[in-house]
Amino acid sequence: VFDPSLEAEACGCKIAWDSGEVLPRIVSHPLSEGAKIEDVDTFSFEKRGRLPAILEATKRLKLIRGKDVAIIGLITVPLTLAGHLKGESFLTDLNQGSEEAEEVMTLAGNVGLKLCRMYCELGVDVIAISEEMLGQVNSNLYQVLTSPLRSIWNVAKFFNVHSLIVGKGRFEGRIEPILALEADGVALAGDVDCVKLKGLALKRNCCYAR
């Protein structure tokens, strides 16, 4: 279980806790409520919300259990964070080729890059990019993911940390474009052709899971 609202809260989205048994909900989207991209403060986002606690917990886990288990730093960018910042119109705007949507993606990618470096400096074994929207956007738009993800992969490789893409949804016609994003591994849940996933992943020497 992981919380996809961590980065969003740290970047200015408000959250609401319905009960202690469910994850919080995003209840505000700054970029659809009057804020401009330059108003989103990403300079010290890692010091806000629950991220300081997450980073400290990662540090302690690495010290206590790092020799016995793999520690994964999970980041929900760029699609998920961009969607939280922009709100319901984000996917429609992105699918229509909106320039603003791509700018929000760049912003989210920069947040992910900084967080990736922080996790790597803490000694994680894997950087995982979790994107539930991978099964929702047109696969021909995956090209807008290439630049931010490549930067994250490069940082991970510098620290000798593996990379993983995690997604769920409908992946018909999307498996090959996802593999083309060049993570070391992919883990896809939902409507997935396992035989095709296996064949295409093996051709790319990529780890895979469903």
At 71-130, the pLDDT tens digits run: 999 999 999 999 999 998 998 898 888 889 989 999 999 999 999 999 999 999 999 999
Greater pLDDT, 172 or 155: 155
Share of the chain above pLDDT 90, in %: 73
pTM: 0.93
Residue partners of 132: CB distance under 8 A and separation at least 6: 4, 80, 167, 168, 169
Which residue, among 182, 110, 125, has the nearest Cα to 150 in the 3D structure?
182
What is the predicted pLDDT for the residue at 74? 96
Average pLDDT estimate for 164-168:
93
In tens, the pLDDT along 19-69 reads 777 889 999 999 999 999 999 988 899 999 999 999 999 999 999 999 999
Dihedral angle, C-alpha 97, 103, 109, 111, nearest 10 °: -150
What is the predicted pLDDT for the residue at 6? 95
In tens, the pLDDT along 117-161 reads 999 999 999 999 999 888 878 888 888 899 999 999 999 999 999
Q: Report how far residue 144's alpha carbon sits from residue 140's, in angstroms, rounded to the nearest whole number.
A: 9
Q: Report how far residue 86's alpha carbon sits from residue 166's, in angstroms, rounded to the nearest whole number.
A: 22
pLDDT band at 206 (very low <50, low <70, confident <90, very high): very high
What is the predicted pLDDT for the residue at 5? 94
